[in-house]
Amino acid sequence: MTTPFRAVPVGDCIHWVGAIDWSIRDFHGYQVNRGSTYNAYLIRGERTVLVDAVKAGFEDEMFARIASVCDPSEIDVVISNHAEMDHSGTLPQVLERVKPSRFLASPLGVKALHAHFGNLGAEAVKDGDTLEVSGGASPLTLKFLETRFLHWPDSMFTYIPEQAFLFSQDAFGMHLASLERFAEALPEHLLDQEAAKYYANILMPFGPMIQKLLARLDEMNLPLATVAPDHGPIWRDRFPRILEAYRRWSSNTLRPKAVVAYDTMWDSTDLMARVVGESLHEGGLEVQLMPLSGSHRSDLATEVLEAGALVVGSPTLNNQAFPTVVEALSYLKGLKPTGRVGGAFGSYGWSGEAVRQVEEALTSMGMELAGSTKTLYVPGGDTLAACHTLGLQVASALQERLAGEPQPA
Ligand code: FEO
């Protein structure tokens, strides 16, 4: 059948039938500069199975890709690995059109789908349950693995042991619109950058649970020839690289790097930021300045992902920290970047509350404050010397902390 969008074979009897969102730039507050994909997969055995669906508005593209393989009415089983609406938004239309004999989700997925769409007739599969897709000489089995709170309560993986093929929903994904379906067809630096941004903005709060999941996968010793997430490219030979990155990120392994996030009203806090940055570097750290007037919070989160220090500068505006600084700190707090060394600085005109507010915000994120400084109006020589000292204090505190950590074997 000729259709404007075609399915892409990604395994034995497995096709990618998702959609490419070239135009999205704001994914619930996360700036996605390179668009995204909503990956859905069609398995053709004795039964035909659809794994996940696409965001509302992309149903025509998905159905066209399915139709390039089979009539959508041949789909017998629909699986929802994750109920967030970028993967479930078209499920009501899918179920209406396909009328599958079974619609499966995790127990918490059934509840989440019901809360979003009313009763769709979803049936719960538990951790370890299996479903036979084909029997006989060419068996094909689906095994369900609950991955609660990674990153939603309902999340689960679906695994095909006969092909060592894992559908990993959001895990190991990235927001990257591309016609390439496999990671090995894309530049490594691009994969590293977008995978880190995705982890920082979606998965960073769940590090301890991801550690447990990785330990469980290690214990199960699952062969993984193909890992197919719900966003971005599918992993084959390059999977060990992203798996290693997930081990590093989820264990909160930090580098000798400092991020200086700041905004300014009349360039005083800007000057302080630049001097703090110089002395952090003098103290042996890699340094990234993030002027919040032009840096998106999701890029800030990405820079903070492996940074051992976060130094925040804010002028005081009407007794408050500057709005862009408040927004950045609120966003970061939700992502739980614990265990960093912190510092604060800023210029003020009357009462100067911002630095104290920044200190409180950093402390509330579990950061150890290495120092702070503030100045009335325009920084003079003493203030710039204090900024220089602040950078050295933060660098020294971080170097000391990293030196005390056990080194990888
Ligand atoms: Fe891609 Fe959590 O949805």
Which residues have CB under 6 Å of ligand 1? 82, 84, 86-87, 151-152, 170, 230-231
Per the CB < 8 A criterion, the answer to whether 315 and 359 are in contact is no
Q: What is the mean pLDDT of residues 225-236?
A: 98
pLDDT, tens digit, for every residue of 81-95? 999 999 999 999 999
Class of the CATH-defined domain 258-395: alpha beta
pLDDT at 15: 98
Among protein residues, the one whose CA lies closest to atom 1 of ligand 1: 170
Kind and range of the H or E run holding 309 = strand 307-313
**Choice among 21, 146, 170, 359 that is catalytic:** 170
Q: Is the pLDDT of residue 2 over 80?
A: no
Helical spans, DSSP H, in 83-153: 85-88, 91-98, 107-117
Give residues with Cβ within 8 angstroms of 212, minimum separation 6: none
Q: From CA 263, how far away is CA 294, in angstroms rounded?
A: 9
pLDDT at 406: 67
Per the CB < 8 A criterion, the answer to whether 150 and 163 are in contact is no
Q: What is the mean pLDDT of residues 210-223?
A: 95
Asked if residue 15 has a cis previous peptide bond (ω within 30° of 0), the answer is no
Distance (Å) of CA 257 to CA 113, 198, 314: 42, 20, 20
Per the CB < 8 A criterion, the answer to whether 194 and 172 are in contact is no
**Choice among 21, 59, 61, 86 that is catalytic:** 86
pLDDT, tens digit, for every residue of 52-82? 999 999 999 999 999 999 999 999 999 999 9
pLDDT, tens digit, for every residue of 344-355? 999 999 999 999
In the reported structure, the alpha carbon of residue 86 is separated from the centroid of ligand 1 by a whole-number distance in angstroms of 6
Ligand 1 atom at minimal distance to the Cα of residue 155? 2
- As a residue count, the chain comes to 409
Q: Is the pLDDT of residue 132 over 80?
A: yes
- Nearest partner of 286 among 394, 187, 401, judged by Cα: 394
pLDDT at 319: 97
Give residues with Cβ within 8 angstroms of 354, minimum separation 6: 314, 315, 316, 317, 320, 321, 322, 325, 346, 348, 374
pLDDT at 41: 98
Q: Which two tokens stand for residue 285?
A: 């750290």
Ligand 1 atom at minimal distance to the Cα of residue 152? 2
Domain boundaries, the chain: 8-250, 258-395
Q: What is the mean pLDDT of residues 190-204?
A: 98
Q: What is the band of 3 on the pLDDT scale with cuts at 50, 70, 90?
A: confident
pLDDT, tens digit, for every residue of 298-328? 999 999 999 999 999 999 999 999 999 999 9
Domains 8-250 and 258-395 share a fold: no
User: Is 198 tagged catalytic?
Assistant: yes
pLDDT at 409: 46
Among protein residues, the one whose CA lies closest to atom 3 of ligand 1: 84
Secondary structure (3-state) at 76: coil
Q: From CA 71, how far away is CA 76, in angstroms rounded?
A: 11
Q: From CA 409, how far away is CA 160, in angstroms rounded?
A: 33
List, in sequence order, every residue forming a beta bridge with 169; answer none if it has no partner. Answer: 229
**Choice among 15, 82, 87, 175 that is catalytic:** 82
In the reported structure, the alpha carbon of residue 170 is separated from the centroid of ligand 1 by a whole-number distance in angstroms of 5
pLDDT, tens digit, for every residue of 396-407? 999 999 999 865
CA-CA-CA-CA dihedral for 404, 406, 407, 409, to nearest 10? 160
- Nearest partner of 67 among 140, 137, 144, 15, judged by Cα: 15
Q: From CA 307, how far away is CA 166, in angstroms rounded?
A: 31
**If you average pLDDT over every residue of the chain, what do you get?**
97
Asked if the 8-250 domain carries CATH number 1.20.1300.10, the reply is: no
Q: From CA 96, how far away is CA 19, in angstroms rounded?
A: 19
Distance (Å) of CA 51 to CA 31, 81, 133: 27, 7, 12
| Whether pTM exceeds 0.85 | yes
Percent of residues in the chain assigned helix, strand, coil, to nearest 5: 40, 25, 35
Per the CB < 8 A criterion, the answer to whether 159 and 222 are in contact is yes
